[in-house]
Structure 1
């Protein structure tokens, strides 16, 4: 298996690790064997790995009834410029760079315990992407579904796209700007009020920003400073180079050309508006036609963040995928 040469511009991604919740019934010895599957969860725009916390967390009292997908190691990542991952050079923020970050992250993960890097059979990977993360998952699949995949220490087996289409979205729903010295947005602040004020001045709605204090995207750090997972500079770059480009449609065509579409799962919220999908109907129909053979699920009245509002339904879908892959 040849080595994959990563570019020097690769950004090390911060992640949250959710160890597998192992069933107590099977003999102990098989449980000690290296896992053959891992899951990687990707957040959407203006978000971070924290969005997956409620979905992946299982308390001790309910561990016996944990969903099947929690039998395997799970990682929620922060894409470059989001969460606790650095933005690095904005000029190098490209769809290919974001994919390379993820490819490198997964390669690093499977090179250390609990995985066995000496195994002749590489572990399988299921990638789940919400919103813009779903488009990133498609970009990853398009890159790894072809010849490149054979040079990596893991096998990308399935991608799940949660409420995202391939439409070019070059008109953000609201304008965001940033004007700090040097042109970069510093996500570390001396106080919560300073952080909230900076994001509001950048164009974010006040209620939205204050909600981020509650859900943890704005939080106090050990250094007695306040940190923002949200970066308005990253938002602008994402609209310009990922959401506002043809990369989603290009990825779809690459997946189709490699006949990999049966490994794609689309999960869309039913209806429109606050309790329905944000996806464009025409774009979704195009995806279903071009990715013929992909799995398609509609979760009615779920809203955009299906993994939050309809956790059990979304978990059931991920369970089915994992059972199929683990067979």
Structure 2
């Protein structure tokens, strides 16, 4: 099957360098649809979502973003790693690229960024997809992932390790997935990860989700305890227009565990179905 990968690039947006990967099989039909901007999670550089970008690129002009402090985007001692700064990055990104119509798809931390950015972007997205977002926050239960898991795995990656070294932290992943994580995890700035993790417990995600004024979809994992049934009920009570799909046989890293179920969960919200096994012409 031909690739939909076009190129990797950098753009100066919101006063920092933002790196992204672009995927698109351009046809008259796909070019008329809203672009899709994918925002990965707390320790996921854009390249680790490349296999997802490949699939999205069959139907949409797709951009997978390196969040500040991850991958090849800017990182420094002075950089603000708050949720507001990350959301303004996303708003600045779509403005800098001149995207007229776009949807946000955010996973985990990326979902929280997408929800906040939806009301800060110069133009509203056509839709927002929140994939297994941490529902922790002020007065709520803690995020189930533990900070030492991130810190220790990043330290190992900075020293230099291989797939087997990463297996202790991600025992269910394939060798290829572990190799990619071992190669790229060192690019995640520990300061950025700590700030985002602390933000999981201090930022009010529910308030952002409630304010979404565009079609929205909550995609959650059957396993992992990040989003429970009662959390879904609360989010849909706060935002009655929010649809929900629970993906079976999947933990928090949903497309790693059940890629077909992940793609099917989108339905036609973005303007076309994602799951399509037909090869690219």
Do the two structures share a fold, i.e. TM-score over 0.5? yes
The residue number in structure 2 matching 1:117 is none
Alpha carbons of structure 1 residues 287 and 84: separation in structure 2 relative to 1, 3 Å:
same
Do the aligned partners of 2:43 and 2:185 also contact (CA within 8 Å) in 1?
no
Q: How does 1:114-263 map to 2 (within 5 A)?
A: 123-144=100-121, 152=122, 154-168=123-137, 169=142, 173-175=146-148, 194-196=159-161, 207-208=168-169, 214-219=178-183, 228-240=186-198, 242-255=199-212, 260=213, 263=215
RMSD between superposed Cα atoms in Å: 3.6
Distance 2:188 2:170 in 1: 9
TM-score, normalised to structure 1's length? Answer: 0.65
Please point out which of 24, 49, 63 is paired with 1:19: 24
> In 2, Cα distance between the equivalents of 1:317 and 1:227?
28
Shift of 1:193: 7.7
Who is 1:183 aligned against?
none
User: Which of these residues, 74, 77, 96, is aligned with residue 84 of structure 2?
Assistant: 96
Equivalent pairs, count: 251
2:106–2:131: 8 Å Cα contact kept in structure 1?
yes
CA distance in 2, matches of 1:47, 1:212: 15
The alignment's TM-score, normalised by the length of structure 2, stands at 0.74
1:129-170 superposed Cα distances (whole Å, 9 cap, x missing partner): 1111111111112334xxxxxxx3x54111101111432247
- Report the Cα offset of residue 208 of structure 1: 2.6
Conservation of the 8 A alpha-carbon contact between 2:112 and 2:205: yes
Consecutive unaligned residues of structure 2, counting only runs of 5 or more, are 1-11, 274-281
CA contact (8 A) 1:14 1:78 kept: yes
1:87 to partner: Cα distance? 2.3
How many Å separate the matches in 1 of 2:43 and 2:219?
Answer: 20
Q: SS at 1:296's partner residue?
A: strand
Query: What secondary structure, in the 3-state scheme, does the structure 2 residue paired with 1:15 have?
Result: strand
Check the 8 A contact 1:10/1:97 in 2, yes or no: no
